[in-house]
Amino acid sequence: INAEYGGFFLWSMFASKALRITRRFSRKETKKNFCKRTIVCNALASKSTPPLRVKVLPSVQMRYKSHLTFGDVKELVVERSDYPSEKIKSLFKDDVMAVIGYGVQGRAQSLNMKDNGLNVVIGLRKGGPSWNLALEDGWEEGKTLLSIEDAARKGTVILYLLSDAGQKASWNVVKPHLTKGKTLYFSHGFSIVYKDQTGVIPPNDIDVVLVAPKGAGATVRRLFLEGRGINSSVAVFQDYSGKAKDRTFGLGVAIGSGYLYETTFEKEVYSDLTGERGVLMGAIFGLFKAQYDTLRARGIYPLLCPAIHSVLTLQFRPFSF
């Protein structure tokens, strides 16, 4: 090992080990929290105990302002209290929510909608890890857990929550079932904004909408279980029904949002690519590395470099030493 980076290398190995332990611990806790308020999981916990009936906590938010000003821009803010449980059930009483994909967003949003009393089915590839996880969460094969094709056929609102690559790969399976009057829902607008590259081009006789939670799926679920809600962006790309905007805000609350801000597909994508993939996944790493290399070149010991302190603090925060 190069002596110049020896100390950094050893501490990196230690930090990586601690991070793996943290992630295993977090996955266990997240799995317990995800199932905390689902009816079926109560039965799975003890086969001799009948399922507990779940009552979603009523909203405690007070409506006090419809607009907020950010800089010189005045924006409409829709709150969860604007769409109480009765209104959501009325909006979607005739709908079947078909969630395609069971990653962090698909899992959280489907469980939240289920707890909000909506009719939800899951569409997945049978036998994969997500299929088995959905079974563990209480979705029933052949009833609420279906193939992607069957779920898309049955659903009236198709929540397309696969990865960007997965959406492109599965589009030819889903598209034939996007019949007149249905709704196609996204939580990231990449496939639509870059449709010339993805090939995801919806038919003209459906609504195409977006609700983009500003946080990971685990956070969406956790805040919902706590009786709160995450901030989300809302956008309408195509309004065939003439009711897309109202229904999209309703969907936003149904999947666990507390506050919703109107945007466009393009703005959501550009801000995500810049803020998350550009800054969080690129720029911050680059800044840390440049800082470390510069200080080491001036003789600063690795553990005294602020970048290393920051990384170790983030990785070891769940533990007490």
Q: Is 188 a catalytic residue?
A: yes
Q: Answer yes or no: are the C-beta atoms of 122 and 99 closer than 8 Å.
A: yes
Angstrom distances, CA of residue 240 to CA of 143, 180, 221, 248: 30, 9, 31, 13
Alpha-carbon span 178 to 184, nearest angstrom? 8
E strands present in the chain: 67-70, 73-79, 97-100, 120-124, 145-147, 157-160, 183-186, 207-213, 230-238, 257-262
- What's the DSSP call for residue 206? S
Helix (H) or strand (E) holding 218: helix 217-225
Q: In the chain, helix, strand, coil percent, each to 5?
A: 50, 15, 30
Handedness of CA 134, 206, 186, 75 (dihedral sign): negative
| Terminal-residue alpha carbon distance, the chain | 28
Q: Among 106, 174, 167, 170, which residue's Cα sits nearest to residue 134?
A: 106
Catalytic-labelled residue, pool 67, 177, 188, 309 = 188
Q: Among 132, 110, 106, which residue's Cα sits nearest to residue 119?
A: 110
Label residue 5 exposed, middle or buried (CB < 10 Å: 0-12, 13-18, 19+).
middle
Angstrom distances, CA of residue 31 to CA of 38, 115, 196, 220, 233: 12, 16, 38, 13, 26
Alpha-carbon span 258 to 252, nearest angstrom? 8
Angstrom distances, CA of residue 100 to CA of 9, 116, 168, 195, 222: 42, 19, 13, 19, 21
Catalytic residues: 188
